[in-house]
Chain A
Amino acid sequence: MKKFSNRYIILYITVLVAVVALLLSVVSIGLQPRQEQNRNLEKMTQILQASGFKNLDREQVPALFAQVVEEMNVAQESSSELLPLYLVQHPDSTFTYVISLEGNGLWGPIWGYMAIAEDLNTVTGVVFDHKSETPGLGAEITEAGFSSQFSGKMLFDEAGNFTSIKVVKGGVLNSKIDPKHAVDAISGGTITCQSVEEMIQECAGKYVAVFKKLREEERRQAVKDRKTYYKVDN
């Protein structure tokens, strides 16, 4: 076997790494627009899925999204950061609000979208996704078996206080928590499920002030509507 000098070895590995790095950068930059497009498409699909649209065709998603979803950025009370809020119009002319959720799971980021009914309290559907949770355990949060539990749960109690939705280890029925505000955790996926709970608590919590404002506006609007109604009636 040939003997190589130290200088050769250092030079060899430096050149190799530089060439490989250059190649990967070029490919990464070249493919970025397409990947970005894919991620965007997935986001649209998830927002639509959360609001209850089923059997979505990849090709039709952008058109449908543009047609039924109105994207808003709403101001928060405590920080200057704007929150995304999606208003989804349904074929039966009801609408849902969709909020975005972001958090950290066991191994990497988790995120999702939660659709909330017009009463700004009842959850109508959720979609969760993750980067690298354990397949078969934490990764099960993406499955309907877990996420469908959220439909019909309430974010606020009767007094209007924000309760969030708890993810209960060992099952809701075995705990003292009101089943209106809780779902069952996945066995074997405890940390991911806790992260889901924290994510909902934190992200939905940011919207509490926004929801309050929206409700007030709605009430004012309703009063106004009633006045005009009476006026017409008279």
Chain B
Amino acid sequence: MIQIRKYLGPLSKNNPVIVQVLGVCSALAVTTQLKSSVVMGISVAVVAAFSNLIISLLRNTIPSRIRIIVQLIIVAALVILVDQFLQAFFYDMSKMLSVFVGLIVTNCIIMGRLEAFALQNKPLPSLLDGLFNGIGYGLVLATVGLFRELLGKGTMWNCQVIPDSFYEMGYLNNVLMTLPPMALILIGVMIWIHRSRNKELIEEE
């Protein structure tokens, strides 16, 4: 029996975005809406999980001199698969995420987990490790996306949640929320809150 708890680190105390500060570029770019954040999170989780699984299955056959090339081929192939799949079944989403799906290849979380985990571990643990790292990334994206969409557009999952009466009383959407700088500030606020609740993460002077 595999202990799932061991793999839950990336969800909070070892989160790839707010603790390791990886994959921030795409986190700023695609989080204007909850929906695109969630789709991006799922895409990264799928790529991370399966690239970890495949590399782990191949780990004893990969010559270490060309391991980065092999990793890149596998990751790129998976990213193309995800991109093609989105284009076929979620066309609007694939247009909205545009280049950022292709840029999953360069997401440090994925290559990082391949190097640090999949090359030394058995397939099932590797699959879980990739999956939970991807989910940890997706959770942060979804949280940022939720606030940006709510405060920037007054909607949630494309449905209006702030009633018209608020707007009549003079409430305004904060357009700054839909711009990238606010995503950076929101991630900063998340790191702040996260660290204040997990004191052991604070570096000593």
**Which residues on A are within 8 Å of B, measured CB to CB?**
1-2, 4, 8-9, 12-13, 16-17, 20, 23-24, 27-28, 31, 34-35, 38-39, 41-42, 131-132, 135-136, 139
Query: Is B70 touching A13 in the complex (CB atoms < 8 A)?
Result: yes
Within 8 A of A (CB), among B62-86: 62-66, 69-70, 73-74, 77, 80-81, 84-85
Closest to B81 in A: A27
CB distance from A95 to the nearest CB of B (A): 29
A193 to B20, CA, bound (A): 39
Asked if B29 is at the interface of the complex by the 8 Å CB criterion, the answer is yes
**Which residues on B are within 8 Å of A, measured CB to CB?**
29, 60-66, 69-70, 73-74, 77, 80-81, 84-85, 87-89, 91, 98-99, 179-180
Query: Is B180 touching A13 in the complex (CB atoms < 8 A)?
Result: no
A135 to B4, CA, bound (A): 39
Knowing A28-B84, A132-B98 are in contact, say whether A20-B63 is a contact too (CB < 8 A): no
A217 to B88, CA, bound (A): 44
A1 to B65, CA, bound (A): 11
Query: Is B66 touching A9 in the complex (CB atoms < 8 A)?
Result: yes
CB distance from A20 to the nearest CB of B (A): 5
* Neighbouring B residues of A2 by C-beta, 8 Å: 60
Q: Which 9 A-B pairs have the closest CB atoms?
A: A4-B63, A38-B91, A31-B88, A34-B88, A20-B77, A9-B63, A35-B87, A35-B88, A31-B84
Q: What are 16 A-B pairs with beta-carbon distances under 8 A?
A: A4-B63, A9-B65, A9-B66, A12-B61, A12-B63, A12-B66, A13-B69, A16-B70, A20-B77, A24-B77, A27-B84, A28-B84, A34-B88, A42-B91, A135-B29, A136-B180
A131 to B102, CA, bound (A): 13
